[in-house]
Structure 1
């Protein structure tokens, strides 16, 4: 399991957050399920908006 940092270009509450997931794709899907779906018209809009990157475990703690 890896830690991913994510932020949205347009949704303020999604700025500077961390999530644990096996892959970046799974992290994006988990973020969508945890509430991002309420702020975007479609999954495609969300994917174009979200920025995600893998971080070292000690940086996220």
Structure 2
């Protein structure tokens, strides 16, 4: 089965806040400095407010 992908291990993630206070979850390797993430770097992250959370009471 040559089309099966082997897992490469776990990807470490970090929580980041932008200047407006919005929270993002980002792969560590996508950021130069998690404390100073640029808007361009945040494009590789997931905006916490925009991701669906089916078990969050809604």
Question: What TM-score comes out, normalization by structure 1 length?
Answer: 0.30
| Structure with bigger RCO (C-alpha 8 Å, 6+ apart) | 1
* Structure having the larger proportion of residues in helix: 1
Whose radius of gyration is greater, 1 or 2?
2
Question: What TM-score comes out, normalization by structure 2 length?
Answer: 0.31
